[in-house]
Structure 1
Amino acid sequence: MTVQHEENGNKGVFYIEVEGKREAHMTYTKAGNDKIIIDHTEVGDRLRGKGVGYKLIEASVDFLRSNKLKVIPLCPFAKAVFDKTREYSDVLT
C-alpha cells in the first residue's frame, strides 16, 4: 500500500488507491510559506481498521520534515495522532 501525494496550488492531498480508486485520503491547505493545515482524513470501509490513517499521517510527517514545514492538525483524527505521538512533536506549530 503506497501513499501518494498531490499538490494543486494551495491545496494538497495524501491518498491511497486500490485498483485505481481512492480508498483513503487526507487533505491539507497551505498556511503561508512554512505551514500546512490538515483539515480532513477519510478512510473507506475497504481499508478501515488497517492502520491506513496512520500511514497517511506518517507520509505527511515525512513531507513536512523534508520541506522544513510545520503543521496545524485541525482534523480530529490527525490532531489525536499528533497529540499522542511524541516523535512527531517537531513538526507541530
Structure 2
Amino acid sequence: MKYEIIHEEKYQQFTARLEQDEEAEIAYSKPQDGVLDLTHTFVPDAYRGSGLAQALINTALAYARRHNLKVIATCMAVKKHIEQNPEHQDLLR
C-alpha cells in the first residue's frame, strides 16, 4: 500500500490519499496558542489494521514536536497510541 501523508493546514488535518479517491485523515484544532487538539482519526474500512492510523498519528505528533506544540488527545485512537508509546507522553498538555 502506497500513500503520502500531507498536511492540509487550511482544513486542519493530515490526509493520506489512497486508491480509488479514498482518504484517511487525522483532524485537529488549535484551541489556543501552542496547543494542538487531535480531535479524530478516520481510516476507511479496507485500510483498517494496516498501520495507517498509527502513521497518521505519528505524523501529527512529529508536527507538534517540530513546532513545540503541546497536544490534547481528544481522539481515543490518539490517546491510546500515546499511552502505548511513552516517548510521546511529554507532548501531552
TM-score normalised by length of structure 1: 0.89
Q: Does 1:16 align with 2:16?
A: yes
Structure 1 counterpart of 2:52: 52
Q: Is the 8 A contact 1:35 1:70 kept in 2?
A: yes
Q: How many residues align?
A: 91
Gaps in structure 2 of 5+ consecutive residues: none
8 Å CA contact retained: 1:23, 1:46: no
Runs of 5+ consecutive residues of structure 1 not aligned to the other structure:
none
Structure holding more helix per residue: 2
After TM superposition, the structure 1 = structure 2 runs for residues 28-67 of structure 1, keeping only pairs within 5 Å, are: 28-67=28-67
* Runs of 4+ off more than 3 Å: none
* TM-score normalised by length of structure 2: 0.89
| CA offsets 1:50-81 (integer angstroms, 9 cap, x no match) | 00000001101110011000100111111111
Structure (1/2) with the larger strand percentage:
1
Match of 2:4 in 1: 2
Query: Deviations along 1:1-52, whole A, 9 cap, x unmatched?
Result: 22111112xx510110024724211100002110011111110022111000
